[in-house]
Each structure stands twice: as structure tokens, then as C-alpha cells.
Structure 1
Amino acid sequence: MKVLLLSMGSRGDVQPFVALARGLLSAGHAPVVAGPRRFAGLAAPYEIPFAPLADEMLDLQDQIKGKGAGAAITAARSVKPMVRRVLDEETGLLDLSPDVIVYHPKALGGPYLAEKAGVPSMAGLLLPLYLPTAAFPSPILPVRLPPAVNRATWKVAAAVEAPYRSVVRSWRTEALGLGEGFRPAAELIAAGPVLHAWSPHLLPAPADWPAWAAPVGFWTLPAAAEWTPDPALAAFLEAGEPPVYAGFGSMVGRDPQGLAAAVVEGARHAGRRVIVATGWGGLDAGPSGPSGPSGPSGSSGTSGTSGDDVLVVKEAPHDWLLPRVAVALHHGGVGTVAAALRAGVPQVIRPFLGDQPFWAERLHGLGVAAPPLRGHQTGASVAAAVETALGLSGTAAAVAADLAAEDGVTAAVRRIEAHVAGS
């Protein structure tokens, strides 16, 4: 079975689809992952074919990060043409003659490519987005309202998609040659079936969801077999007790240097060493910090973030690193949430946007994370959160044991097979 896995967005949006492709390959199928070209390296170690798509929008995000609302508003004017160019590139994926398409909603064109090809499709959702429930509000709602209006809050997902609907509609007609019968992606996804790629131990299906919406489990991509830690990282971990890990992925705040300083000071107050992962810039250990995959901060970093008890890295595979730390302090992206849960490490969440506050509250409610950090942080506030999290190690280990019995990728592969067989 030829399976086209189509995703757009950040690394956190693409990597789970590579994990799913790996499972499909093991099951004897022929997957192809299509996504932003900068992420082709995610698939290469697993010998998974990768179809590169334009990543202009990611370049744009890189250019405007940290430059304020004015830059974002100016940049927004060029987004629609970029969306059309990506959709036109997606049109070429039909040459792969897939038997089924599994798509991330951010790719926008997934269900219409399937319509053109006359094959079944399924949305792969890393968080609840399109199926309303009275049990909890939409995770991407920026404010919290009374529970009585939970179901109404789910309209926000369709509103997020709406600005690009005219572009998608015209592309569907002009590039795919499809006539009447356009339905918004939100409506198509809500009609199901969908693959909800998170663990029911984190968020079980509410009672008012259909059976086909039950979460299958996380789609986990292990570190490539040839990956080895930088010697500085390995030495740092071996030099003392497990440190605090702090990393915010692709998030960028107003004061990344100040946040890095607060994190380091907080870890020190809690009596812990710290690994600072700079990622896309959410944490900044200073202009003289190291370059490359990892390296110690040494004595020349920003004041307050240097010393033998601090290591600055760009990134490292979470499934390798997080089992070796005492606390994971991060932004609450579901990919990092999943990795920390599987590692059995307690968490501190400093959410930035989107679904991150939702997961932060959920983790705190499960007893595996301290109360979420909000806004400006100080060394004292970070230290208090780290100390609270250290007391949750037992609960975190118990949840990890439950997750060890799950295989979200295999469950998703079976759902895909069943959907194709029944179509």
C-alpha cells in the first residue's frame, strides 16, 4: 500500500509523521513523507522517502522572530501567495499515485488531493482540534470560559483556517480541476475518521466522541541508530547528578536572555545543574555561547549563565536526553510533553501560545508537572517550580510505566489499514 504522509509546520509537526512512516515501512507498506524541505534529514536515517515542499513560511518566521507585532503584520501580507505556492507543489504529489493520504491540517491540501486521486484520506491530529466536546474547551482558545460553553469554543479551529479558505478553494478548482462540492477542511475532518496521536493516559477520549476518534497513542521517533551525543554533553551528564533540562523548541519570547538567566539561577537555587537548549531562540545564553550541536557554556557566556554547572546545547534527541535528567522545563509543545512523559521525568511548563497552556494545565492535573509558569520569570519562581516538580517524580514514573505498554504508531497503522480496506 502506497501511503502519502503530508505535513507542514515546525519540526514538531513533521517528526511524528516520520515516526508513522517508519511504522508503515515495518508493516510492509510504501510510505512517502512530504513536508518542508529543511526537515528531509529527519527521514533520511530511516531510509524513508521524503518529498520536499517549500518552506518559505518557516523562513519568514525565522526573519520576524523577536521583532514585534509590526513585523508580524507586515509579513502576514505575503503569506497567502506562499500558501498558494505550497499548494501548487502539493499538486505534484499526485504523481506518487498514493492509495491513501494521511495529512496534517496545516498542509491544507490533503483532503482535496485525496478527492482528486479518488483515494481515502485521514487527518492526523497531534492535539484535539475539530471534534467538539462538552468535556473541555478547545485547546487553542486563548482564554478560558465557563464549562457550560465548552462545546461552542470548538468553532475557533475553523476560524483559524478561514483566512486561507479562498486560496484553497481557487487552487482546488484551478490546479486540481475539481468543480462544485467544496467543503472546508474543518468540516471534512470533523466528519472523520481521524487519527488522534496522543496517549489516552494524557487525555482520554470524552464520552461524546465517536469510537473512531479515540486517541491511538503518541507517534514516537527514536534517535537514529548512528546518533551519538557530543562528548561535552556526555561528559556533563556523567559529571554529577541528573541536571534540569530547559528548552523551548521553536518558541521565541520577548526576553530570551533574561529567561535563560532566570532558568539557570532557578536551577542553582534548587541545587541542580542545568542543560540549556537554545533551539530557535526561546532561550539565549548570550552572544558568546557555543555554536554547533552542543558545547559547554564555559566562562565567557552571558553573566549569570556561565559556569561548570551549566551546559548550553542547540538540541539533542529528547528520547535519549530526557531519561537522563531530573526535571524537564519546556514550553508545553505536545512532542516534548510526550517525550517527558515517556521518560518518566517530572515537568515544569512555561507555555507561550496555542495549545501549550492546555497541556500545561493537563499535566499539572495529572500530578506530573508543577503549576504552569506565566509571564516574566525570576530565579526564585523557577526554583520553586523545579523543587515542586522534583517532588512529583513518583507519579511521573508511574505514568511512564503506563505509556510503556502503548504503541501509538502500530495502532495508527492498523487504523489506516482498516480505513483503506473499508473504503
Structure 2
Amino acid sequence: MRPLLITVGSRGDVQQFLALARGLLAAGHRPVLAAPRRFEPLATRHGVEFVPLYDEMLELQNTVKGQGVRAAITAARSVRPMVRRLLDDQAALTARPADVVVYHPKSLGGPYVAEKLGVPAFAGLLIPLYVPTSAFPSPIVPVRPPGPLNRASWRIAAAIEAPYRSVIRTWRAEALGLRDGFVPMAELVRTGNVLHAWSPHLLPAPADWPDSARPIGFWTMPADDTWAPPERLARFLDEGEPPVYVGFGSSTTGDPDVLTATVLEGVRLAGRRAVLATGWGALRPGADADDVLVMEEAPHDWLLPRVAVAVHHGGVGTAAAALRAGVPQVVRPFVGDQPFWASRLHRLGVAPEPLRGRLTAARLAAAIEKAAELAPAARVSAGHLGAEDGVATAVARIAAAS
């Protein structure tokens, strides 16, 4: 096969598509990954053919991150030239031969590229977004609605997409020559082929989903055997009991100094050492101490199996890494789908109740102590994830359709 994979977004969005590309390559296929140009070195390092896409949209995402659905919709209305540039880059992909297209809905153009090529299309979803259910509300709804409104809440994904539709419709006609039969993205995903790339152990399919929508497992990159920890990290881990990992990924906060001080006090109240990953700025970089090591980031697949508890923001990528590592978790969600995954981890028994609202050192210390008691359940969950292979299942589904 010659699969074309199209994704747009942060590293979390791209890395899972890269994992799928690697799986396709290992199965003897010839995948091409189209993604924001800044990720070309990452794809090249893994031997995957790469086509760069316009990536100024990433800067826009960074600007509105954490400001809610209304900010996202307002921003969408102000960036039509950016959207058109991104879509034009995707239109150029139709000059390449492809047998199937797998796209992230953030790409906006993925299903229409497949339509122009006349090949099957699969939506690759890393969180549930478009297939409605009465069992739970859409993960991106900012407030939990009453149960009878669960299914209606799934319309929010279509509302976020709606400001782009006139640009997409015009581009589809002008750049692809598809002047009739326009169908919005939300409807295409809901009624088409979908690959739900998360573990059914974490979130099983609700009873009102079709079999084709059942989750198939995370798309996980193999461990990077070439990565070696900095000497100071290796030494810190060797010098005492496994520490607590604290990292909030791409989340941001209005006062990183206060959050950092609260985290350090909470870890020390719990009698623990800590590795702090500052990420995109939720935590303030600072000097190491005898009981604290501060760094920007480290590969989760290497670090998390070496810690006692993982404290994080509830992003599904970090949650998946901690589940695979068999480490109990403490979740302080910030925005978007993070509260949803925080609740799922608590229900699974690998995390105490999420730390919503104002975070205090005492609350964090208590949560760390409760999480440590859940280590046996975390190890059991790791066994379940170890038996899943979301990439292999996706490769088989794609091959069967093309």
C-alpha cells in the first residue's frame, strides 16, 4: 500500500501518527506522513517519508490554548489566510499516488484529499470527538451536562469546526475541483471509517457505538534505545527512593511561580523527592536541590517506569505513558479533555480523585499518598495495555479497506 497520513497539531498529535507510519513501514507498506514542517527532523530520524505542511496554525493554537471554546471559535474566524495556506499544502498532496488516506480532523482537508484521489479515508482520533453516545458527554464540553443531554453535547465538535466551513468549501472547489457534494467534517467522521486510537481498558466502547468505532489501542512509538539520560538525572535517580514525577506538558498557568512552589511544598509534605519537568511553562525552571531535579523534559517511556507516582495534567498521551509504565497517577486537569481523562483514570483505580479547583500543598501531598497505595492496580493495568497493539490493529484495518 501507499498510505497517506495527514495530521496537524502539537507533538502529541504528530507522534501518534508517526507511530502508525512506522507500523505501516514495518508491515511492508510505503507510508507518507504530511505534518507541520517543524516535525520533519523527527520523522526523518525514524525513516518515514515526510511532506511538510504550513505550520503557522500551531502558533495560533498556542495563543488560544486554555482560553476555552469561545476563544477557539473567535480565533478561527480571524485566520482564514492561514487556514487556506494549510489547505493548499494539502491539495498539493493529490499529485502523489495514494491508496488510502488516514487523517487527523484538525487537518481540515484530509477527507477531501481522499475524495479527490478516489481512495478510502480513515479519521484517526486520539480522543472521542465525533461519534456520539448517551453514555457520557463529549470530553471537550467545559461543564458536565445532565445525563439526558449527553448525546446533544457531542454537537460541540461540529460547532468548533463550523467557522472554517466556508473556507473549506471554497478551497475544495477551487483547489480540488470538487464543486458538488460538500459534506462537513463532523458528518464525514460520524458516518465514515474511524480509528479510535486509545486503550479500551481505559475507555471501552459504549453500548450504543457501532463495532467499527470500538477503540483499538494507543498508537505507541517504540522505545528509543539511543536515548541516554543526562548524568545528573541518572545520578539523582540512583541516589534515593524512586521520586515523584511532576509535569504538566503543554498546559500553561497564569502564575508558574506559585504553582511550582505549591508543587514542591506538596511533594515535601508527602516525604518524597521529585523530578520536575517544566514543559511549556506551567512550572518555573529553577535550580536543583538535594530532593528535587528540574529539567525541561525527558522521554516518558524511559523516565516513568523509574518513578513512584506521576503527577500530570491529564493529557491522554501522558496518561497512556503512565499506564504503560505501571505507575499510579495524580491528575491536576487544566482544560479541554483533561478533566475527562482524569475521571477515567480515577474510575480505573490507578489515580485518586482529580485535583480540581485551587491546588494546595496539603491536597497534593494527600493525593500523592493515596496514589502510592494504588501501585498494585497500576501494575495490573500495565499488563492489560501490554496485551494491546493499537498500531497493528490499525494497519490491518487500513489494509483491509484499501
Give TM class, smaller chain: over 0.9
Looking at structure 1, the residues matched to 66 and 320 of structure 2 have their Cα atoms a distance apart, in angstroms, of 27
> Normalising by the residue count of structure 2, what TM-score does the alignment of the two structures yield?
0.96
The 3-state SS of whatever aligns with 1:141 is coil
CA displacement, residues 287-329 of structure 1 (integer Å, 9 cap, x when unaligned): xx3xxxxxxx23xxxxxxxx21111111111111111111111
TM-score, normalised relative to structure 1: 0.91
Alignment of 1:322-341 (within 5 A): 322-341=304-323
RMSD of Structure 2 on Structure 1 (CA):
2.0
Corresponding position: 1:44 with 2:24:
no
Q: Which amino acid aligns with 1:154?
A: W
What is the deviation of 1:74?
8.7
Structure 2 equivalent of residue 176 of structure 1: 176
Q: Are the counterparts in 1 of residues 66 and 251 from structure 2 also a CA contact under 8 Å?
A: no
Give the C-alpha shift of residue 63 in structure 1. 6.0
Q: 1:195 to 1:93 in 2, by over 3 A?
A: same
Alignment match, 2:26: 26
Identical residues among aligned pairs (%): 66
Q: State the partner residue of 2:55.
A: 55
What corresponds to 1:309 in structure 2?
Answer: 291
Compare 87-96 and 387-396 and name the one that shifted more: 87-96
User: Alpha carbons of 1:120 and 1:67: their partners in 2 closer, same or farther (altered >3 Å)?
Assistant: closer
Name the SS for the 1:182 alignment partner.
Answer: coil
Residues 58-113 of structure 1: CA deviation (Å, up to 9, x unaligned)? 23445677999999899666422211111111111122211111000000100000
Match of 1:387, as an amino acid? E
Q: Deviations over 1:10-29 (max 9, x none)?
A: 11111100000110000000
The amino acid that maps onto 1:155 is R
Amino acid at match of 2:232: A
Rate the CA distance shift 1:144–1:410 in 2: closer, same or farther, 3 A. same
Q: Give me the whole-angstrom Cα distance separating, in 2, the residues matched to 1:74 and 1:153.
A: 20
Cα distance between partner residues in 2 of 1:336 and 1:363: 12
Cα distance in 1 between the residues matched to 2:263 and 2:367: 10
Distance 1:175 1:76 in 2: 21
2:31 aligned counterpart, secondary structure = strand
| 1:358 alignment partner AA | F
* 3-state SS of 2:28 partner: coil
* Secondary structure in structure 2 of the residue aligned to 1:252: coil
Q: Tell me what 1:303 maps to.
A: none
1:151 matched residue in structure 2: 151
- Within the alignment, does 1:195 sit opposite 2:195 as a pair? yes
C-alpha displacement at 1:186, in angstroms?
Answer: 0.5
1:320 counterpart = 2:320: no
1:104 matched residue in structure 2 = 104
Distance 1:151 1:24, change over 3 A: same
Q: Give the length in aligned residue pairs.
A: 402
Letter in 1 for 2:284: D
1:87 match: 87
Partner of 1:251: 251
Of 368, 372, 375, which aligns to 1:390? 372
Distance in structure 2 (CA, Å) of the matches to 1:205 and 1:283: 35
Matched residue of 2:236: which SS?
helix
Structure 2 CA distance for aligned equivalents of residues 208 and 74 of structure 1:
33
In structure 2, C-alpha distance between the alignment counterparts of 1:273 and 1:383, rounded to whole Å: 12
CA contact (8 A) 1:66 1:254 kept: no
The Cα shift of 1:239 comes to 1.3
Match of 1:166 in 2: 166
Distance across 1 between alignment mates of 2:191 and 2:63: 37
Q: Which runs of 5+ in 2 are unaligned?
A: none
Q: Deviations over 1:164-209 (max 9, x none)?
A: 1111111101111111100001000001220000011001111111
Q: Find the residue that maps to 2:182 and give its secondary structure.
A: coil
Consecutive aligned runs of 4 or more in structure 1 exceeding 3 Å deviation: 60-78
**What's 2:354 paired with?**
372
Q: Is the 8 Å Cα contact of residues 247 and 276 (structure 2) preserved in structure 1?
A: yes
Q: Distance between the aligned counterparts of 1:411 and 1:242, measured in 2?
A: 35
Secondary structure in 2 aligned to 1:30?
coil
Asked if the contact 1:331–1:356 (Cα under 8 Å) also holds between the matched residues in 2, the reply is: yes
Cα deviation code 1:368-417 (max 9, x no counterpart)? 11111123322112111111111111111111111111111101100111
Unmatched 5+ stretches in structure 1? 290-296, 299-306
In structure 2, what is the equivalent of residue 281 of structure 1? 281
Question: 1:175 aligns to what SS in structure 2?
Answer: helix
1:238 aligns with 2:238: yes
Are 2:358 and 1:358 equivalent residues in the alignment? no
Instruction: State the SS of the aligned residue for 1:136.
Output: coil
Distance in 2 (CA, whole Å) between partners of 1:188 and 1:2 is 22
- Do the aligned residues in 2 keep the contact of 1:198 with 1:215 (CA within 8 Å)? yes
Per the alignment, do residues 355 and 72 of structure 1 end up closer, same or farther by CA in structure 2, a change over 3 Å counting? Answer: closer
> Which whole-Å CA distance do the structure 2 matches of 1:329 and 1:345 have between them?
10
Aligned partner letter, 1:52? P
Q: What's the offset of the Cα at 1:33?
A: 1.1
Residue type at the aligned position of 1:91: A
| Contact 1:45 1:224 (C-alpha < 8 Å) held by counterparts | no
| Distance of 2:65 and 2:387 partners within structure 1 | 40
| CA separation of 1:185 and 1:68: change in aligned 2, threshold 3 A | closer
The one-character-per-residue Cα deviations of 1:214-247 (angstroms, maximum 9, x if unpaired) are: 1110000133332211111111111111111111
Cα deviation for residue 144 of structure 1 reads: 0.7
Residues 169 and 148 of structure 1: CA distance in aligned 2, closer, same or farther (over 3 Å):
same
Whether 1:125 and 2:125 are equivalent positions in the alignment is: yes
CA separation of 1:337/1:176 partners in 2, compared to 1, >3 Å: closer, same or farther?
same
Q: Does the 8 Å CA contact 2:123/2:189 hold for their aligned counterparts?
A: yes
